[in-house]
Amino acid sequence: MVSMKRFIYYIISTGYFTLLQAQDKAKNYVPPLDLPVMLSATFGELRPHHFHAGLDLKTQGRTGFKVRAIADGYIYRIKVQRGGYGKAVYIKHPDGTLSVYAHLEKFAGDLQDYVKRHQYEQKRFFIELFPAESLFPVQKGQVIAYSGNTGSSSGPHLHFEIREGESYPANPMRYGFRAEDTIAPVVRGLYAYALNDTSSVNHSQERVKLLLNRKNRRSYRSDPVEAYGEIGLGIDAYDQVNNTYNKNGVYQIALWVNGLKVYETRMDKIDFATTRDINVLIDYPYYVRKRRYIQRLWKHQNARLPVFSVLVNGGKINVEDGKVYKIRIELSDFEGNTSEVHLKITGRKTPTFEKKVQVKTPFHARVGKPLSLHGQRVDVYFPPGAFYEDVYLKFSESADGFEIFPDNIPLRKKIKIKYSLEKVPGHLKKYAYLAKVNPKTKRAYYAAAQKQHDSIVFRTRSLGTYVVKYDSIPPVISRINIKDGQWVSRYRYLRFRVSDNVGVQKVQAYIDGQWILTEYDYKTGKVFYDFNDLTFEGKKHTLKIIVTDKVGNRTEKTLTFFRKFTTE
């Protein structure tokens, strides 16, 4: 019989006690939408350079659904940003949790008026506000906003989070926000890695894709493997919930070796401060090349992630000659639907491999140490802690740019790059910008144009090839819904579109010389203004639109329109 002491240790070590607390709190919550719960994304999904921090709730491909506070509390933060969460509301609750509602179309009632008033005071659309605690108390179920598609959203939905502290998103499913789910995770690929110079997998030291046979909907078996030394496994998998086609992340992955669990990740909680360490949880070079995620089933020595729940030898497998290892990988979703992968590894010592020659360069980047690279035109500074592993860099300059390789290693911190424009002809300097070359397509995309003392200075986490480009083409203003000299008294909105070959930086508009609040969607180029925002004297008015691109080129358009703003 299990002793009480061991039982208490079990519930604490497995997080079961925390789960019970979360489930108890769930009784106090209501759904954020008056719609059936259908998910397009789950908590902890692997994303570019971060974990997904919440649930994405489908809104039937439309915007404008009422968004409700899940519990009593107060609105303590409102943010409107170009990308990211777009329009978002943050609520603090008495139980210590925070809830977040993002990609909103607009805010509700007095909150919308409050945000718009501050936008006009600051003369900017993108804004962040922290109202006093007493200003916007909310009750459970109160409408706080309307669902939308703002920010970096790729389609109408509500992004919803629960945080246990400002920087610690927690899985909302632990708090009762769940969808119908009877579907087990699906495995797309299984991979094995030799982790040092003396180890091998199937007589190779490269990444090896293992052949998988699907026995049934929940069970897979790999062909036998011969290996030796320290190896690791990796898996490409996804999960789904009922009634949707979206491929979601897997909640829990565990690795068993001869009956002993040596590795487990569980997507219960993440930390914004370490979310970028996802790049050493996955096979990052494979992601850079294929844009697909292989989760490594071992822990990188510099990964600071809260997702590991079991680690024995970091999940690495030490294969000895002549021994047999029975491997089981278990993948589960939050509802307990489980798939298994079975694999047999036989220890087989192979002839000694010729050691890979490490190409040493003068530019040796080391973990925890700063590094500076200096060229004729470019200076690069890597702060301490920028790298996860020691690496030799290749650094070179050309007549129109520079290269830093390898470009498939992840950086934890941003590096600072300063590129001198001293040798650029004077008439071209204001049009100069740096572009990063896509290694596959060879196309160059805008990277930076901020100029300081005859140089372009910027910060990035992206290595590779950069070239100097020039842009003197101003932005385009098109599809204005009013014509010069037109009466628009019946129009509620001014609408137009903007575009630019490098990218639009800022949109400004004025009526009779007074700044007006234009809302710009960078994904579509659409801009609109609500004529009900302000009143102007008289009937004849002048509209002026100014659009600036990322290099600094400007386009101005002025027209006259007629509208009666006040009743005479």
CATH number for 504: 2.60.40.1220
Quick one: 335 and 374 in the same domain? no
Quick one: 489 and 557 in the same domain? yes
Is 243 part of a structural domain of the chain? yes
- The CATH number of residue 376's host domain is 2.60.220.30
Is 568 part of a structural domain of the chain? no
Is 387 part of a structural domain of the chain? yes
In this prediction, residue 7 carries a pLDDT of 35
In this prediction, residue 355 carries a pLDDT of 65
Query: What is the total count of domains within the chain?
Result: 4
The alpha carbon of 15 is separated from its chain's Cα centroid by a whole number of angstroms, namely 27
- The CATH number of residue 44's host domain is 2.70.70.10
Quick one: 507 and 397 in the same domain? no
Quick one: 241 and 194 in the same domain? yes
Q: Where are the strands (E) in 267-307, listed by range?
A: 295-296
In this prediction, residue 358 carries a pLDDT of 78
Token reading at 233? 């496994």
Is 254 part of a structural domain of the chain? yes
Quick one: 193 and 52 in the same domain? no
Last residue of a domain, one of 443, 470, 497: 470
Token reading at 324? 């047999």
Q: How far is CA 404 from CA 49, 201, 408, 472, 508, in A?
A: 20, 31, 11, 28, 38
Quick one: 457 and 334 in the same domain? no
Quick one: 374 and 465 in the same domain? yes
Is 174:23 a contact under the CB 8 Å cutoff?
yes
- Domain enclosing residue 281, as ranges: 186-347
Q: How far is CA 543 from CA 126, 304, 454, 508, 563, in A?
A: 22, 53, 36, 11, 12
> Mind listing the pLDDT tens digit of every residue in the chain (568 residues)?
334 344 333 333 444 444 444 555 555 899 999 999 999 999 999 999 999 999 999 999 999 999 999 999 999 999 999 999 999 999 999 999 999 999 999 999 999 999 999 999 999 999 999 999 999 999 999 999 999 999 999 999 999 999 998 999 999 999 999 999 999 999 999 999 999 989 999 999 999 999 999 988 899 999 999 999 999 999 999 999 999 999 999 999 999 999 999 999 999 999 999 999 999 999 999 999 999 999 999 999 999 999 999 999 999 999 999 999 999 999 999 999 999 999 999 999 877 666 677 789 999 999 999 999 999 999 999 999 999 999 999 999 999 999 999 999 999 999 999 999 999 999 999 999 999 999 989 999 999 999 998 999 999 999 999 999 999 999 999 999 999 999 999 999 999 999 999 999 999 999 999 999 999 999 999 999 999 999 999 999 999 999 999 999 999 999 999 999 875 4
Quick one: 443 and 509 in the same domain? no
Is 220 part of a structural domain of the chain? yes
Quick one: 337 and 456 in the same domain? no
Is 383 part of a structural domain of the chain? yes
Quick one: 45 and 171 in the same domain? yes
Quick one: 222 and 302 in the same domain? yes
Looking at residue 15, what DSSP letter applies? T
Quick one: 203 and 319 in the same domain? yes
Entry field: residues in the chain:
568
Token reading at 74? 């107060």
Is 369 part of a structural domain of the chain? yes
- What is the spatial distance between Cα 171 and Cα 349, in angstroms, rounded to a whole number? 44
| SS3 label, residue 395 | strand
In this prediction, residue 217 carries a pLDDT of 83
Is 113 part of a structural domain of the chain? yes
Last residue of a domain, one of 436, 470, 504: 470
In this prediction, residue 3 carries a pLDDT of 44
Q: Provide the edge-to-edge strand list for the sheet that holds 519-521.
A: 476-478, 493-499, 526-530, 519-521
Q: How far is CA 428 from CA 500, 501, 538, 549, in A?
A: 19, 17, 45, 16
Q: Output the pTM of the full model.
A: 0.92
Non-local (6+) Cβ contacts of 541 within 8 A are: 511, 512, 560, 561, 562, 563
Last residue of a domain, one of 293, 314, 347: 347
